[in-house]
Amino acid sequence: MIQFDKRLPVYEQIIDYVKKQIVSGEWELGRELPSRREFASQLQVNPNTVQRAFREMEEMGLISTGNNVMSRVTDNPQLIGQLKQEMLQEAIQIFADSIYPLHVSNEEVMEQLEQAMKRREESSMLEVKHLYKRFGNKTMLNEFLSQQSVERLRY
């Protein structure tokens, strides 16, 4: 789901959203993307904005578009690995900058980070268990999750 921030260009936010979907594995390598017009309609933005985002993502190598065919997510795992590392480094730098004024030791930071990651993992496992219980089988769960991905595109 994209909740647009009025302070940032919308096309950049679309690019960030797509990057996160690809790096997280939400969107598989080689996945066919909606047409630019359809994507714009789902996001409720101007088609020219989506066109600009797609053009920039093509230049980055994140997506490819052939003549008269739908755009697809790259099938280059090295590119995605590199993007993942860049995103991780950026997140860590932001985190480090924000905690620097606290003057905490590296050991304390690592301990707190490990606890936070453990809580996040436990929370994710509870969500999955709840969904399995709700849907009863993997096929129904996958159908639900696919529909959720489509719904998230609309915002």
Bridge-partner residues for 63, per DSSP? 73
CA angle 135, 137, 138 (to 5 degrees): 105
Q: Measured between alpha carbons, how far is 4 from 89 in angstroms, rounded to an integer?
A: 24
pTM summary value: 0.73
Asked if 74 and 62 touch (Cβ cutoff 8 Å), the reply is: yes
How does pLDDT run along the chain (155 residues), one tens digit per residue?
Answer: 688 999 999 999 999 999 999 999 999 999 999 999 999 999 999 999 999 999 999 999 999 988 878 899 999 999 999 999 999 999 999 999 999 999 999 999 999 999 999 988 888 777 777 777 777 766 666 666 665 554 444 43
Q: Which two tokens stand for residue 148?
A: 């959720």
